[in-house]
């Protein structure tokens, strides 16, 4: 898919046109240092990293303002409005960068070069800032084409992307994947794979096999392709949440509560459905019948704060525009576009696999509720599956039992399902009705087992009996393996026991333990 991308360089300082006189000198500051300076300020000798005191000495009329995301988003709204006059379906990637599909405006203007020229003229006439327009195939190639101010033919996409560094792909991934993508790029750099051509030389199969979904997305971007949802995952319709603004629609501050509630509801609906989405459409309607629609791409809709931030930016840009709302805001509609199954959302942490976020959240929970309030499973040494797993506080050291060394007689191959509590059962022999099979003092079976049925205590507890459906009545045993006596760690009070596996007639395999004069089922393999 070909995209037409608009890029405004140094947008944090170029957006100062809303607060500066025409041709004025401005700079964005951080920690009393110049972060970005306007072209007029640079002509006076102001440079990035320079102290504010030195910069104002060189340029006495310099206007220094701190970084303000709301100001950047508000000013970029005028750029997007000008973009809307040339093309439809404009998507905001971030303040300073927007795109649309190139086919429509190219056909309307008579060609891609004509469409790019019209777009530059429209933005310059409306906002008065210098911008660059690029057209190419795929998100990465089109973004880099905008930075170079070029139109890349489809046949030249691979050659254009070849020398490009892989770090450029970080701007084309959702926030939920950013940290994992950066770690992958750093790992590849350590192996000498630094450019798109280097990555393509490895082959798609090995890259996807080694790095999973991150490797697949990186490969597609480096090859000039579009990151699309698998065909089998397109059956989900857009999810929308709408809120009426009864009062306070004239100010953004008074709409904070309904906006936050709408964002929480949308992210919650996505999580409960097991879906992810990275495109947010915002529809705002005022009391006079006017409306504003804005689409944001590349955001993480599993995080309600990211949704609320985009809504704030949209409202700020609309209310400061020349053709703003004709009355108080009356309704806000949030739509998660093209949702698809994914695992970026997390019930506990709220977003993807970010170790730093998880660690900070865990420490806060323990600080409020104590170290034992947050436990995690740890694998340790042991003779049986149940003793090999222990719940330890978050951040604790290694498990108390080392897994190294010999655990002679330990049960190998733990079952796929380990019951929270063992289920009592009975084993009966084929010789004589009601003759129970036991384990004698030598660790051998008293008779070949033929049937397995629920024990008396399990029959009285239907919820535990449900763990082994069909065992209220006898289940025929096809064959057994064992038993294996375990008498280790008697000094810690562990009771002598024996383990055995039994394959039932329906193909299920149960792990049995003989302890205290009765059989119990520890786990199950379907």
Tell me whether residue 408 is exposed, middle or buried, using C-beta atoms within 10 angstroms of its C-beta: 0 to 12, 13 to 18, 19 or more.
exposed
pLDDT in tens, 368-386: 777 777 777 777 777 677 7
Report the pLDDT value the prediction gives residue 401, as an integer from 0 to 100. Answer: 64
Tell me, what's the pLDDT at 116?
A: 94
**C-alpha–C-alpha distance, residues 193 and 190, integer Å:** 7
Q: How far apart are CA 356 and CA 130, in angstroms?
A: 38
Question: Does residue 243 sit in helix, strand or coil?
Answer: strand
- CB under 8 Å to 170, separation ≥6 — which residues? 178, 181, 182, 185
Residue 458 pLDDT: 47
Q: Report d(CA 44, CA 40) in Å as an integer.
A: 7
Distance between CA 126 and CA 135 in Å, rounded?
22
For residues 331 and 106, give the distance between their C-alpha atoms in angstroms, rounded to a whole number.
35
The candidate with the shortest Cα–Cα distance to 310, out of 319, 300, 322, 320, is: 300
Amino acid 251: pLDDT: 84
CA distance 129 to 80: 13
How many secondary structure helices (H) and strands (E) does the chain include? 16, 21
CA 331 to chain centre: 29
Contacts with 487 (C-beta within 8 Å, 6 or more apart), sequence order: 409, 496
Number of residues in the chain:
526
Helix (H, G, I), strand (E, B) or coil at 372: helix
Residue recorded with tokens 């891609």: 112
pLDDT for res 489? 59
**Is residue 311 within 8 Å of 263, Cβ to Cβ?**
yes
Whose CA is closest to 219, among 248, 245, 188?
A: 188
CA distance 322 to 320: 7
Q: CA-based Rg of the chain, rounded to a whole angstrom?
A: 32
Angle (nearest 5°) at CA 387 between 382 and 388? 60
Judge whether 124 and 130 are in contact, CB under 8 Å: yes
Q: Are 174 and 278 in contact (CB under 8 A)?
A: yes
Q: Which domains does the chain show, CATH number per domain?
A: 2-157 (3.40.1170.60), 162-228 (1.10.150), 247-341 (3.30.1490.100), 366-410 (no CATH), 415-525 (no CATH)
Q: What is the per-residue pLDDT for 80?
A: 92
CA distance 259 to 265: 10
Of 358, 341, 362, nearest in space to 179 by CA? 358
Question: What is the 3 state secondary structure string of 268-335?
Answer: HHHHHCCEECCEEEEEEEECCCCEEEEEEECCCCCCHHHHHHHHHHHHHHHHHCCCCCCCCEEEEEEE
DSSP structural state of residue 19: T
Do residues 253 and 299 touch, judged by C-beta distance below 8 A?
A: no
Q: Could you tell me whether strands 375-379 and 239-244 are parallel, antiparallel, or unpaired per DSSP bridges?
A: unpaired
- The residue with tokens 């170290």 is 371
Q: Do residues 505 and 491 make contact, with C-beta atoms less than 8 angstroms apart? A: no
For β-strands 26-30 and 63-66, DSSP reports them as parallel
Instruction: Using DSSP, state whether 123 is helix, strand or coil.
Output: helix
How far is residue 344 CA from its own chain's centroid? Answer: 3
The Cβ of residue 79 has, within 10 Å, a number of other Cβ atoms equal to 27
CB 119 within 8 A of CB 4: yes
Q: Is the peptide bond before 507 cis (omega within 30 degrees of 0)?
A: no
Report the pLDDT value the prediction gives residue 352, as an integer from 0 to 100.
46
CA–CA distance, 79 with 85 (Å, rounded to integer): 10
Say what the pLDDT of residue 240 is. Answer: 94
Enumerate residue ranges in the chain where pLDDT < 70: 16-23, 227-235, 342-360, 363-364, 366-367, 383, 395-414, 431-434, 455-473, 487-494, 526
Cα of first residue to Cα of last residue in the chain, in angstroms, is: 46
| Sequence-separated contacts (24+) of 418-422 with Cβ below 8 Å | 418/385, 418/386, 418/389, 418/522, 418/523, 419/467, 419/521, 419/522, 419/523, 419/524, 421/464, 422/513, 422/520, 422/521, 422/522
């Amino acid at each position: 898919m070909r995209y037409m991308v608009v890029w405004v360089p140094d947008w944090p300082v170029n957006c100062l046109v809303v607060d500066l006189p025409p041709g004025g000198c401005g700079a964005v500051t951080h920690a009393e240092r110049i972060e970005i300076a306007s072209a007029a300020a640079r002509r006076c000798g102001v440079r990035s990293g320079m102290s504010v005191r030195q910069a104002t000495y060189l340029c006495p009329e310099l206007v220094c303002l701190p970084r303000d995301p709301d100001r950047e988003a508000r000013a970029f709204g005028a750029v997007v409005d000008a973009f809307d006059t040339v093309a439809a379906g404009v998507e905001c990637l971030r303040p300073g960068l927007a795109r649309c599909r190139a086919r429509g405006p190219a056909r309307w203007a008579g060609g891609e070069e004509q469409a790019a020229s019209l777009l530059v003229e429209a933005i310059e006439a409306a906002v008065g800032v210098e911008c660059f327009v690029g057209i190419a195939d795929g998100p990465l190639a089109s973004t880099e084409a905008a930075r170079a101010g070029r139109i890349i033919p489809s046949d030249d996409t691979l050659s254009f992307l070849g020398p490009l560094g892989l770090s450029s792909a970080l701007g084309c991934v959702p926030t939920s994947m950013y940290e994992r993508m950066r770690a992958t790029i750093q790992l590849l750099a350590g192996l000498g794979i630094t450019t798109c051509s280097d990555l393509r030389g490895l082959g798609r199969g090995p890259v996807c096999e080694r790095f999973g979904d991150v490797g697949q997305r990186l490969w597609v971007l480096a090859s000039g392709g579009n990151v699309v949802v698998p065909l089998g995952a397109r059956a989900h319709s857009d999810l929308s949440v709408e809120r009426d603004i009864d009062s306070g629609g004239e100010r953004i501050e008074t709409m904070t509560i309904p906006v936050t509630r709408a964002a929480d509801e949308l992210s919650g609906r996505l999580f409960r459905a097991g879906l992810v989405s990275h495109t947010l459409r915002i529809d705002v309607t005022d009391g006079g019948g006017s409306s504003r629609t804005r689409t944001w791409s590349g955001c993480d809709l599993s995080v309600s704060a990211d949704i609320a931030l985009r809504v704030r930016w949209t409202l700020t840009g609309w209310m400061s525009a020349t053709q703003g709302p004709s009355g108080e805001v009356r309704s806000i509609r949030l739509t998660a576009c093209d949702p698809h199954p994914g695992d970026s959302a997390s019930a506990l942490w709220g977003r993807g696999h970010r170790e730093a976020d998880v660690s900070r959240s865990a420490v806060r929970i323990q600080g409020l509720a104590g170290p034992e309030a947050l436990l995690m499973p740890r694998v340790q040494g042991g003779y049986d599956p149940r003793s090999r797993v222990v719940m330890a506080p978050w951040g604790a050291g290694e498990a108390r039992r080392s897994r190294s060394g010999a655990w002679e007689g330990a049960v190998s191959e733990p079952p796929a399902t380990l019951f929270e509590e063992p289920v009592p059962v009975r084993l009966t022999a084929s010789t004589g009705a009601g003759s129970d099979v036991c384990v004698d003092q030598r660790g051998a079976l008293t008779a070949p087992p033929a049937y397995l049925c629920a024990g008396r205590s399990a029959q009285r507890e239907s919820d535990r009996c449900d763990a082994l459906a069909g065992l209220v009545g006898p289940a025929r045993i096809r064959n057994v393996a064992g038993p294996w006596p375990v008498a280790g760690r008697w000094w810690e009070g562990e009771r002598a026991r024996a383990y055995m596996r039994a394959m039932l007639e329906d193909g299920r395999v149960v792990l049995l333990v003989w302890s205290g004069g009765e059989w119990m089922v520890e786990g199950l393999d379907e």
